[in-house]
Every structure is written in C-alpha cells, then in structure tokens.
Amino acid sequence: MEPHLDRAAFDTAQDMSHFTDAERASYARFGYRYTGEAYTPHLTLGRTDEETALALARSGPGRTAVPRTWLFDRLSCYLMGEHGAHARTLAVRPLG
C-alpha cells in the first residue's frame, strides 16, 4: 500500500502522547496508529479507481498471509473523522 499513501496528509502535529510506542511508529510509517495488540482484523470498504483496486487485489496474497477462513461476527458503521480515522461508532449489528 505504501505507493498509495498520501504522506503529506499525515497530521504530524496531533497529540500522540496517549499512543503506545508501536502506535507512534506505525503512524509515522503509515499514517495509521493501530498495529500489534491494538489491531483487530477487519475489512474496510472504500473507493478507488478500478485499475488500482484490481492491482491491489491481485498483489495482496504476496504482501501478507491471511487465514483461509474468516469469521465475520458483526457489521459496524462509523463516522469518518479527519483523514479517514474512526471518529464515532454509529451502529453495530451482530452477524450470524
């Protein structure tokens, strides 16, 4: 994903005093703080042009290892904040 990051959009002035060391390192590298123990596997639905989406989908298996099966247990809708960050949960519905 690194070629698609808009590093100029990273808010380097934000208060990161409550971030863990891993979250600070991740934010500096990717503009997103949740890694390691703070990370929860999920899928994010978003938008991009079809060519980029296909390229990312085709190259995904070579970039990371994912389980053969996933259990999706809920659907969550949230209010998107600055730079696409999670600002507030609007609704959570269990699946199954």
Domain residue limits, the chain:
2-94
pLDDT at 16 over 70: yes
Q: Characterize the bridge pairing of strands 86-94 and 74-80.
A: antiparallel
Query: What is the tens place of the pLDDT at every residue in 26-71?
Result: 888 888 777 666 677 777 777 789 998 888 888 877 777 777 787 8
Q: What is the pLDDT of residue 93?
A: 94
Round to whole Å and give the CA distance between 88 and 31. 19
Q: What is the pLDDT of residue 26?
A: 83
Q: DSSP string of 77-96? A: EEEE-GGG-EEEEEEEEE--
